[in-house]
Amino acid sequence: MIIVPIVLILVASASAAGVAYGVHPSLVQYGNGLALIMLSRRLMWPLISLSLICCITLLGLVISGRRRAWWLLGLAPVLALFVMRFAPGTPGPGAILEAPNYVDASNPAAPEAGDFVVGIVFGDHAFAFPYRSLFVTPVICLTDYDQRVLLMWSAYANRAVAMQVSRELRSRDLELVSSPANSLLLYDRRLGQFISGVTGRQVDGHDAVGFGKALATEKMPWSAWKAAHPDTKVMADHARADAPNRPILPQYHVRVPPSPDPMLPVALLATTQPAAVPEDAPLPVPLNVTVGSTRVLILRDKAGRLRAYDRHVKEDLFLTFEPKPARKHPDAVMSDNDTQSAWTIDARAVDGLLKGERLREIDLDERLYWGVMKYWFPKLQLIEP
């Protein structure tokens, strides 16, 4: 009967297709696409085993003479699918780099002045990671004595997340599964958790086991980072010649409402309740907003860059600001309605009852895209002046 080899070929091909295409990033644009990607990764080895069992069974039938050798041609798609999934350059455990090589800022192997880097200050040292290198190895594990940090770079989201990690999390157990919704998707084989590179949390929003405090990251041209941190170490460039050296646009469609535009550039506030501000938002006057339980002041500095500050001062004083230049202090551009103190553009009180006080700055992650951020932060609030 020819039904047996046909069934073996179909089952082997279907299992190999599940391995090859089950984690494709484009699946996330469909309903439950992310769940399907995670399920496909969990079932990867059972599917591989099932496919190999069918292939070996068919090979045994041919060797025993019960079927002709030309039936083996039916296994060609299986081979092609496995090559597609496990060929060099495809996502896998090799994407995590635990001991990168660093060079000094003056080394000829350092990036060119206009190349973008991700900067991080860890311990007493500053480190820079070129976009080109992170495009090839997007997950870096840094170790400083007994402290460890995991840096995750989602190139299509232009998002870098650095998290302190404990010994409970082992980098050799991490695997880069896919890039759904333009974010890295990591799988911890030992703990069985899926981690989003955009949020630094599990895909269901819960804290990832072994992850601790987030560290601030900065994205800027190498020349700017080098000027701010002359003693920085920079990761030696080992990227492909075609790897991008500056921000790139999202590649995969995201399931979010069409308005606002998913490609809208935004800056993400590092507040407990996630919020974003359009990068091109006109801010002729200071903007007083409330994000969750945090009262925030948003303005543009002298260079035109967005800045955000916590309006909480002292115990229970939450200030509200308005533009009001001070005659005695030319650098004072605003005042608070509560104490009438004069404040500079960098949130320093230079006159009045609060003289000497300074607002706590809230980190802003710039050059992000609304659609990507809204997908991974479903409760994300867009602040539109």
- Tell me the pLDDT tens digit for each residue of 207-245: 999 999 999 999 999 999 999 999 999 998 766 677 888
283 has pLDDT over 90: no
Could you tell me whether strands 233-235 and 125-130 are parallel, antiparallel, or unpaired per DSSP bridges? parallel
Give the global pTM. 0.88
- Given this model, what pLDDT does residue 223 score? 94
Integer angstrom CA distances of residue 80 from 56, 76, 247: 16, 6, 33
User: What percentage of the chain reaches a pLDDT higher than 90?
Assistant: 58
Query: pLDDT class for 1, splitting at 50, 70, 90?
Result: low
Q: pLDDT per residue over 119-135, tens digit each?
A: 999 888 899 999 998 99
Query: pLDDT class for 326, splitting at 50, 70, 90?
Result: confident
Min mean pLDDT across 117-121, 174-178, 255-259, 320-324 is at: 255-259
- Given this model, what pLDDT does residue 68 score? 84
- Given this model, what pLDDT does residue 99 score? 78
Query: pLDDT class for 136, splitting at 50, 70, 90?
Result: confident
Q: How far apart are CA 151 and CA 228, in angstroms?
A: 20
- Given this model, what pLDDT does residue 90 score? 56
Q: Residue 212 is inside which H or E element, if any?
A: strand 211-215
Q: pLDDT per residue over 354-374, tens digit each?
A: 999 999 999 999 999 999 999
Could you tell me whether strands 102-104 and 233-235 are parallel, antiparallel, or unpaired per DSSP bridges? antiparallel
- Whether 240 and 133 have beta carbons less than 8 Å apart is answered as no
Average pLDDT, the chain: 89
321 has pLDDT over 90: yes
Helices then strands, counting H and E runs in the chain, come out as 7, 27
Q: What is the SS3 assignment for 306?
A: strand
12 has pLDDT over 50: yes
The DSSP symbol for 123 reads T
- Whether 279 and 367 have beta carbons less than 8 Å apart is answered as yes
Rg (CA), the chain: 26
322 has pLDDT over 50: yes
User: What percentage of the chain reaches a pLDDT higher than 70?
Assistant: 97
The DSSP symbol for 118 reads E
Q: How far apart are CA 150 and CA 169, in angstroms?
A: 10
- Given this model, what pLDDT does residue 93 score? 44
pLDDT top residue among 236 and 57? 57
Integer angstrom CA distances of residue 105 from 100, 117, 120, 279: 15, 12, 14, 30
Q: pLDDT per residue over 63-93, tens digit each?
A: 888 888 888 888 898 988 888 887 765 554 4
Six-digit token pair at 8?
A: 């073996």
Q: Supply the angle between the helices 44-63 and 76-86 in degrees, to the nearest 10.
A: 150
Q: pLDDT per residue over 169-178, tens digit each?
A: 888 889 899 9
- Given this model, what pLDDT does residue 72 score? 86
Which residue carries 């179909």 as its tokens?
10
19 has pLDDT over 80: yes
